[in-house]
Structures are given as C-alpha cells and as structure tokens.
Structure 1
Amino acid sequence: MPINVPKQLPARAILEKENIFLMETDRATTQDIRPLKILILNLMPDKERTETQLLRLLSNSPLQVMVDFIHTETYQSKNVQKSHLEKFYLTFSDIKSKRYDGLIITGAPVEHLKFEEVDYWNELVNIMEWSKTHVTSSLYICWGAQAALYYHYGINKFERDKKISGIYVQRLINPTNKLVRGLNDVFRVPHSRYTDSDYQAIAQHHDLTILDESDEAGPLLIVSNDEKNVMITGHIEYDADSLLREYERDLAKGITIHPPHNYFPNNDPNQAPINYWRSEAYLIFSNWLNYFVYQETPYTW
C-alpha cells in the first residue's frame, strides 16, 4: 500500500526512483480506506535527508500513511531554507487540536546540553504531554529517545567517555515482543551519540521493557508496557553513507575521532560503507505501524 506525500516534496523524486509506492492526496482521498495519520517532529539539521529516510521506512507497509511534518516554533533551524519549511511544514500550534495515530520525534545534535538548556525544550515538553491524549503510539529516535525517557519516566542521560559511532551487534532478549516480531536473534545497527541514558534505571522501571542488548552500545529498543512509547537509541533510519558524512564532518572540524566502528569494509575508510541494517529498519517500522498503531488506534478519533 502507498505512502501519501506532497507532490512537490523533494524526497518524493528520490523515493520514486527507488520504486517506493507513493500516492498523491487527490487519489488517496477517493479510496474507501482509512489512512493512518503520522506526525513527524523533525529536529535533525538536514531535514530533507531525514524526511527521505523516514518516509522510506514508513512506506514498507500494506497501510496507507498520511504524514504531517512539524518544526519548532521556538527555534529556527539554520540548515534548511525557510521556503522549504513554509511549504512542507506546520508547527505545533497548527495541529495541536488534531489527533494522530502515530508520532515520530527524531534525534537532534544537542546532546552536550542538559535537557532544560535546549532552546525548544519547553515546546518539546508540550508536544510530549499532548501526545498522551492525542496520539496512539509515539516513536522516539536517538536524542529524541533520551528526551522521552527523561520526560515520561524521569531517566536522565550521562556523558560517555568517548563518542560511540559505528555498527554494533544487538542481541534480542525479549523476542516475543510485537515490535521485534520476525527480527533475527542477532542483528547489526548504527549508533552515533556522545551520551547514554541510565540503562540500569530503565531495566528497573516497572513501565519499561528492554528488548535487546549490546556489550558496547547498550540496548537499541525500549518500549513502554502500554505500547504508547517506543524508544530507539540508535539510528536505524540512516543511509549507508550517513556515518561517513558525520565522520568527515568531525574531521573537518578538527575533532580527534576514530573511524566508525565496524563500518568500513576491512576497516578501510577509503572503501565505500555497506548498509547492514536495512531489513531490520524496515521490519521495526512496519511492526510499529501495524501492531502499535494500526491495531490499536480507533477508526474515528
């Protein structure tokens, strides 16, 4: 089934080349099928790249999906043209009276700050509080996951000794959870962050369940027992070259950093990286859409 995106969104041309099933709004509204309404708060600097990554993963479902993007009102991004935001994005003020089947909150490059020091923290708190009554299930990515753990469950983050960056092996410890249905017992995914949440506090929290573990990267998938919140600590949405771009960016800034772990073939930065996590990313998003959103959301809000 298709994903419904605006005709002129730049991500559309990329996805069409990949033979992703897209549908324009006019055609979608004539179908007698209730589409899922997904809201995406895009906090990443490269908004167009993140749009493409998330829409790609949302497309792998027999369900019709309609997506609204919002950006922060209290902070103006410096890495995207204002015209792009005006054309394709709303703000929380525009949608706060609506209800959504699903919400996605991305990562953000603000790890070095305490949560309350982030320019748009109060706005994000308002959105997360609103989601309790206006969203069936929310999915949080990387820093977004840390923010959710902090706001919803009082679990703080802490600085790592050094940045974790690369492809890490995860082992399922709760293979019967619906989110990981069909996932291999061992799988590899990208992580990229300077901070970690308190995983001992997560494991001891009566409202949370950790689904997997990694000796080096910690858990990737954490879900609330009521299935309202899904926290993904890594970046399963990343393209094959995303960590390469981050690595080259850090080198250009003069930051002393090792090449991403287990990322380049033969650990040679001159060789093109390979995507080892694509199938896992598609499956996790598909399971979230089906089991946590579609199967739980009311037909009429």
Structure 2
Amino acid sequence: MPIRVPKELPAIKVLEKEKIFVMDEDRAMRQDIRPLEILILNLMPKKNETEVQLLRLLSNTPLQINVEFLHASTHETKNTSNEHLNRFYHEFEEVKEKFYDGLIITGAPIEQMPFEEVDYWSELEMIFRWSKTHVFSTFHICWGAQAGLYYHHNIEKYLLTEKLSGIYSHEVLSPTWSILKGFDDCFLAPHSRYTEVKKSDIQKIDELEVLAESEEAGLFLVGNKNHRAFYAMGHLEYDRDTLQQEFERDMKKGIKTETPSNYFPKDDTSKIPKLRWHMAASLLFSNWLNYAVYQNTPYNLSELLSE
C-alpha cells in the first residue's frame, strides 16, 4: 500500500521515478480504510531532501499512511522557501488538537549549541509535551534523539573532540525487540554529529534500553520499554551522497574536517560511495511502523488522552 501526501509535493516526482507508489489525496479519499496518521517534524535545513529520504522509507510497508509535515514556526528557515512551507507544512498551532499514530522528529545541524539556546527550543518542548498525549509512538533521529532524551529523561549530550562522520558497523544488542526483527547481528549505518549521548547515562533510566551500538561510533538505537519512543543517533535515512555533500560543504566553509570514515572507496573522495545501509534503514522503519505503531495503536486515536 502507498503513502499518502499532498498532490503537488515535489518529492512525489522523485519517488515515482524510483517506482515507489505514492497516492495523492484524491485517490486516498476513495479508499475505505483506516490509514496510519504520521506526522514528521522536519528540522533539517534542506527540507525537500529529508522529505524524499523519509517518505522513501515509510513507503516500504503494506500499510496505507497519511503523512503530514510540521516545521518550527519560531525558526526562520533559510534553505527552504516560504512558499514550500506554507503549502506543505503545518505549524504546531494547526495540529495541536489532532492525534497521530506516529511522529518522526528529524535531526538538525545544531548539536554544538546548548538545548536552551536553540531559538525554537520552547516550541519543541511544547511538541514533546503534547506528544505524550497525542502521539502513540515517536521516532527521534540524531539531534532530535538527543533533544528527546534530554527533555524526557534529563540525559545530557557531550561534545566530541572532533566531528563523527562516516559509515560504521553496529552490533544488535537486543534482537528480541520487534523493531530489530529480521536484523543480522551487525549492520552498517551513517553518523554525522559533533556530540554524543553516553551509554552509562541511558543505563541509569529503568524504562530505557540500549538496542544497538557501535564500537567506533557509540550508541545507535535506544528504545523505551513501552515501545512508545525510539532514539536513533545515526542517519539511516541518508542518501548515498549525503555525507559527501556535508563534507564538501564543510570544506568550502573552511571548517577543518576529516574525510568521512569507511565512506569513499579507498578514501578517494573522487570515487562514488557505495550504498551499504539502506536495507537496514528500510527494515528499521518498516518494523517501527508495523510493530511499534500499527499493531498497538488504538483505532480511535482520541483514546490516547485516557492512557
């Protein structure tokens, strides 16, 4: 079954070229089915790229999904046009009375800043608080994961000595968790960040469990034992060339940065990186939708208020 998005969303053209079935609103209205309601809080600068990346992963499921996009209204976006935001994105005031089966909170390239200094932190706190009663399961990505752990569990992030960037091997620690169903013992995933969350801090919180980690990159996936929240420290949604674009951007800005680890063949930046993590990405997001969301979310979402 397809994902349902606004008819004119530019991401549709990219996904259709990849033979991904995207259903527009007109056709979806004629289907007698209770679709999953998914909200994506997109905090990334290049919102169009992140839309394609996440919609691609959400499409890999037999479930029909209604997808809506949310942006931080208290932040001025420089890399996405106001026309695009006005046409395809909601502000929090427009969705705060609604209920959702799932919420995805993306990363943001601001991890070196204290949380309270982020210009939309107060708005994000409202969204975190609202999600407890209006969202069944939330998937947090990279900085979004660090922010979620800080808000919900008072877990701090720590500055690394240098940027962590590259493709790293990870070990599955809790294979019995449904979100990791079908995973091999080890899998690859991209990381791109200046900060980390420590495993020892996660282990102090009874309701949290470390599900996957890397010897080189540290934590990758943390889950709440009630399956209502997951925190991924890496970027499985990244495209083949996303790390390359970030590396070239940093170089142009004069930011001292190392070549992404285990990314370019033989560390030759002129060669095309191999795509080695999308199988794990598809499986992780499909498992989240199927096991954490679809099989447990109430049919009547307003029942979330009584939980």
**Pairwise same-fold verdict (TM > 0.5):** yes
- 1:7 aligns to 2:13 (yes or no): no
| Residue 139 of structure 1 pairs with residue 175 of structure 2 | no
Is the 8 Å Cα contact of residues 107 and 145 (structure 2) preserved in structure 1?
yes
2:171 aligned with 1:163, yes or no?
A: no
| Cα contact 2:167–2:188 (8 A) shared by 1 | yes
CA drift at 1:204: 2.6
Aligned equivalents of 2:114 and 2:209: distance in 1?
Answer: 25
Correspondences of 1:1-301 after superposition (within 5 Å): 1-301=1-301
- For 2:6 and 2:73, the matched residues in 1 are separated by 22
Query: Percent same amino acid at aligned positions?
Result: 54
Q: List alignment gaps of at least 5 residues for structure 1.
A: none
- Matches of 2:55 and 2:213, distance apart in 1: 27
CA deviations 1:243-271 (Å, max 9, x no partner) are 00000000001112111000011221110
Q: How far has the Cα of 1:188 moved from its partner? A: 0.6
The C-alpha deviation readout for 1:148-167, integer Å capped at 9, x for no partner, is 11001110001001110000
Secondary structure of the 1:194 match is strand
Q: 1:27, 1:213 → 2: CA distance?
A: 42
Cα deviation, residue 99, structure 1 = 0.2
Structure 2 CA distance, aligned partners of 1:108 and 1:256? 20
Q: 2:205 and 2:176 mapped to 1: Cα distance?
A: 19
TM-score, L = length of structure 2: 0.97
2: distance between equivalents of 1:115 and 1:42? 17
Between 54-63 and 20-29, report the one with greater CA deviation: 20-29
Aligned residue pairs total 301
5+ residue gaps, structure 2: 302-307
C-alpha RMSD of the superposition = 0.7
Measured against aligned partners, the alpha-carbon deviations of 1:221-260 in whole angstroms (never above 9, x if no partner) come to: 1000111111000000000000000000000011121110
User: CA-to-partner distance for each residue in 1:272-294, whole Å, 9 max, x for gaps?
Assistant: 01110000000000000001110
Query: 2:199 and 2:122 mapped to 1: Cα distance?
Result: 25
> In structure 1, the residue corresponding to 2:250 is in which secondary structure?
helix
Distance 2:129 2:226 in 1: 16
Q: How far apart, in 2, do the equivalents of 1:204 and 1:71 lie?
A: 32
Local SS of the residue matching 1:68: strand
Deviation track 1:40-97 (CA, whole Å, cap 9, x = no partner) reads 1100000000000000000000000101101111111111111000110110000000
Runs of at least 4 residues of structure 1 off by over 6 A?
Answer: none
Contact 2:198 2:219 (8 Å CA) reproduced = no
